[in-house]
Structure 1
Amino acid sequence: MSTVTGPRSAQAVDVPAPIRRVREVAVFRNRFGTLFNDDVTAPSGAPGQYLRWQWNQEGVVVVPVGPAGYALVTSYRYPIGAASLEFPRGGTEGDEELAAAAARELREETGLVSETVRPAGIIHADTGILAAPIHVFVAEVDVSTAESARPEVMESVTEPVWVSPEDLPRWLSEGRITCGVTLAALTLVQARHAALADERSGTVSV
């Protein structure tokens, strides 16, 4: 086993042996991405296959922030056959910059216009099958400049839903938000906010 160390690591972390790709095998393609069922070799040397999905474009998720708290959109998600409360997300188009894609997805799905768009980090939505990361952005919005939402043809969304920081823990405990991308983005944004607050106050989080 190898180890990973870094300036932010409290201790060395063991890294398991890799699963090695022998042959890339594409089994399906469309305009969004490619599904692979690669021939691989396990750490033991045993042969096998591993399924992975590779998006054609970079993924983005945007956390809209305003005086009322966080804005989410209720989207009907076909795979689960139900509505899901989520942050706006999607992907870049052509040579579009990541921040521009985040602002566009926000405007299309909610009608909210961003005043500022700041990067907050990267998440992996499902490391078991999704190859590409998702870039997280925070967008400050002014509801007075909101436009009409312009979702894509295969998107079914409602008006933005606002949740205050005070109500958010209750919403989470009640299971009102179950989207993994949204939960991960929220955790990252709140952690970054807490870290910045500690730096400004001169305290150190444990």
Structure 2
Amino acid sequence: MTNSTNPFEPLMEIYQHEEVKKTIRPAHELVGFLCCIAASPKPLALDEWFPNLWKDGIDPSFADETLAVDFATAVLASYECCLFSYREFSHLLLPTNDWLDTDANPTEQASLFAAGYLSAFTLTESHWQNLNLTPDSNTEKLLQTTMLLLSKMASPNTIEPEMKALFDELPDMPDIVDILAQLLTTLGNVSVSIDDDDE
């Protein structure tokens, strides 16, 4: 279905089309968004999230029908890759090669991925809340840890004192990049296991 070394490659390649570049969220942001949507404890209907792939204020459509089909195919293939990783507990193969600069700070690509995941979480958060997780549960701790690490990656240069102090207590960025795929896969595995139990 996808390249084994980069399951998101078909999605990245679709950005060669100028219309995609102009109208759709940046590629790494889209990958983060899809990773989160696929990890919802209750699957979202396509119309609940697909229009959010377009940039703000842009009509969710393409002028070219073939491009529309190719884009939808690439998006759904990436979504299915995430689900497969979560169900099989096989680590997500995230496109992390360009996520750190020479000073080990997060690049724009890393911040975009994190921002995309956090953006999608606004659509799935209510389903996590409906689980009524206790503060000391392993799942709640995993969820909160993941959100904190992603927040640091999305806004590493925050000037807000409280957030800056909190971020300083978190692992350094190279360590976050190293463990992020494992954290997201574990969270996704917990989520899809909950959904399977409900069926």
Q: Please give the range of the TM-score, normalised by the shorter of the 2 chains.
A: under 0.3
Higher relative contact order (CA 8 A, sep 6+): 2
TM-score normalised by structure 2 residue count: 0.24
More helix by share: 2
TM-score normalised by structure 1 residue count: 0.24
